[in-house]
Structures are given as C-alpha cells and as structure tokens.
Amino acid sequence: MVAINTVFAPIENDLLSLNKNLQNMIGARHPVLGAAAEHLFTAGGKRLRPAIVLLCAKTFANNNEISASQRRLAEITEIIHTASLVHDDVLDECSTRRGIKTVHNVFSTKIAILAGDFLFAQSSWYLANLENLQVVKIISKVITDFAEGEVRQGFTRFDLQFPIEDYISKSFYKTGSLIAASCQGAVMLNDAPKEISDAFYMYGRYLGLAFQIIDDILDVVGSSNDLGKPAGSDLSQGNLTAPVLFSIPESIYLAQLIDQEFANSSDIQDALQIIREGCGIQQAKDLASEYLQAAIHCLEIIDNSADIQLLKQLTLNILERVN
C-alpha cells in the first residue's frame, strides 16, 4: 500500500497554494469572520476533497497543467465543505472538531451561523464566476443536497427502523454529492466528453459513500484523541450509521439503549462496547470496500495514465484508515 503522502506528493505545491488562497478568499474583510475562517482552515483539515478535485483535474488537464478554474473549483469545494461543517456543528451541538474547539464554541452560535452563511454565499459567488453554467448547476445541486441530508439526519435520530438504504441516501446527500459533483466538475471544466464526466461523477459518488462509512466506523472504534472529537459522538446524537445499523439486529440490549436515547451516563460506553465486539463493524468495512471497488471500476473507461493510477491509489488508501 502506497502511503497517502506519496499519493498527494504530485499535488503538494497545489495544496499549499490552495491553503493560501482559502485564507485570502475569506479572511480579508472582517476581523471576526477572518478569525473564524482562520480557525477553520488552519485546523488541520485533511484537504481530502480539494486533493481529489486536483487529482481528477490532472487526469484531464492540458499538458498536465491544472487550470486556474480547476484550482478555483478545488477551493470552492473546500469552502462548501467547511460551511457545511460550521452549520453541522451548531445543529449537532459539537464542541470540538479535528481536535480543536468548534466555531460556535470559541465564538458564538451567532458567529457560526453568520460564518456558515458567509462561506456558502462566497462559494456561490466564486462558482458563478467560473462562468460555466453546467458546473454552476451541478454544484448548486450539492448545496441543496446538503440541506436535504441535514434535514433527513435531523428527523431520523434514534430511529431503530432507519433502513440501511436510507442511511446510504442520507450519506450521499451529506458527503457523496459534493465529492461526485466536484470530480465531475473538475473534468467538465476541461471539456471532457459526457461519458467521461459521468464516470467521474460516479467515481466521486462511490468514493464519497465509502469515505462516509469509514468516518462512521471511526466514530465507534476511534479514540477521542485520534478523532479530535469524543468517540461515539454521532451515536450519542442518535445519528445511526452503518456499523450501528448492522449491529442492532445482533443485540436487543443495544436496541434498548438507543431506544432510551442513552438515558444513563454509561449507556454510550456500553453501546460502543457491544458494537466493537460484534460483526457490525466488519459488515460496514465490507460495504465501504465494495463502494471503493465500484469507484475504481468507474475509472476503467479512461486510459490508465500515471494520474489515473494515483486516483486509484488514493481510493485504496481510504480503506487503510480503518485497517
């Protein structure tokens, strides 16, 4: 297995200038929003989404040169993602993320709502200025999908009957849609033919779904230290994810703990232990692995260049996070 750093090496400089640009795009005018943005953008985010966009862009670049608009799309993708995190943290009442305090915790809920609105607005503005109507349309749909995902998550908390299919579609709205559309947009901006841009959409969709499942596995197996937020924090919110849903049929006690919304202080730890000792995590890993294979399969219609191999490597690396 090639390390993630090796996969990112060809775009290392691109990611560095992306970081600089993100600060400039957001922070200039308002000291407090600037501080909130700096807080977010320096918080050691994985920059996975822009890295994927840049790698997709490279596969469809002229003379291997990523274009200015493809770079801008990578930045827009990270801004949209960050905006959604800020509002998500308010909705979920998270107090830490990536090991540091969340915006609404450091500043206030008001600043967090404002900062999220501001970031969404900035992304719409930069998006319109890409001057590519098709890309505007596909990325605008992403923002609708986010809201859809948040709504679905909000109204299905602690729902023991939540079907795995609905978890998948919610995960698409929350994670898959942005990655899918930005992979597609990256090659669209270089006039890729429709069958190629569709393949990149599906690649991103599968990759995003796998990524979400693995994130959800980490929520139940990870230590608070690794996660940068308390272990089981999704679970404690009643956000029932793949490893949990696969574990519920195995344990009536787990179902009871969830049904009682973890009424006692030790309930979350009990639930986590049951999940960790059962087969749900392995089932969730298998599902993620299937999606990653499907993602790699989508890339088969494109000639197997060095850049395509990097994308495939990146895809395989995603699973490494839980192995």
Distance CA 70, CA 232 (A): 37
Our finding on whether 261 is near a copy of itself (CB under 8 A) is: no
Nearer to a copy of itself, 92 or 307 (CB): 92
Among 139, 135, 141, smallest CA distance to 69 is for: 135
Nearest to 86 by CA among 8, 139, 33: 33
- For residue 184, the number of C-alpha atoms closer than 13 Å in the C-beta half-sphere is 27
> Least CB distance from residue 92 to a copy of itself, whole Å?
9
120 near a copy of itself, rule: CB under 8 A: yes
Taking CA atoms, 81 is separated from 78, 87, 178, 199, in Å, by 5, 10, 8, 22
Chosen residue from 11, 22, 26, 33 binding a copy of itself by CB under 8 A: 33
Give the shortest CB-146-to-a copy of itself separation in angstroms. 7
Please report where in the chains the tokens 């590519």 appear, as a residue.
Answer: 132
Per CB under 8 A, 79 contacts a copy of itself: no
Residue 242 C-beta: closest distance to a copy of itself, Å: 23
173 vs 291, beta carbon nearer a copy of itself: 173
β-bridge partners, 100: 97
Q: How many of the chain's residues bind a copy of itself (CB under 8 A)?
A: 38
Binding part of the chain for a copy of itself, among 7-15, 58-66, 84-92, 296-304 by CB under 8 A, reads 84-92
Shortest Cβ 102–a copy of itself spacing (Å): 14
- Could you say which residues in the range 122-181 bind a copy of itself, by CB under 8 A? 122, 124-125, 127-129, 131, 133, 136-137, 140-141, 143-144, 146-148, 150-151, 154-155
- Taking CA atoms, 72 is separated from 54, 57, 163, 182, 245, in Å, by 10, 11, 38, 11, 38
Give the closest residue to 8 by CA, choosing from 84, 97, 102, 74.
Answer: 74
**C-alpha distances out from residue 167 to 23, 80, 233, 241, 243, Å:** 34, 22, 17, 7, 11
Q: Phi first, then psi: what are they for 281, rounded to 5°?
A: -65, -45
Closer by beta carbon to a copy of itself, 127 or else 284: 127
Instruction: Give the single-character DSSP code of 9.
Output: G
Alpha carbons 213 and 270: distance in angstroms, whole number: 22
Would you say 8 or 118 has its CB closer to a copy of itself?
A: 118
Which residue is associated with the tokens 């992304």? 123
Of 122 and 175, nearer to a copy of itself (C-beta) is: 122
Q: Tell me the C-alpha distance between 222 and 99, whole Å.
A: 13
Contacting range for a copy of itself; rule: CB under 8 A; set: 59-67, 83-91, 252-260, 275-283: 83-91
Q: At its nearest, how many Å lie between a copy of itself and the CB of residue 115?
A: 9
Taking CB under 8 A as the criterion, the residue among 30, 39, 101, 321 binding a copy of itself is 30
**Contact region for a copy of itself (CB under 8 A) — 110-118, 225-233, 242-250, 271-279?**
110-118
State how far Cα 41 lies from the chain centre. 15
Tokens of residue 229, six digits:
């937020």
Give least dist CB 5 to a copy of itself, A: 35
Q: What are the residues binding a copy of itself (CB under 8 A)?
A: 29-30, 32-33, 87, 90-91, 109-111, 113-114, 116-118, 120-122, 124-125, 127-129, 131, 133, 136-137, 140-141, 143-144, 146-148, 150-151, 154-155
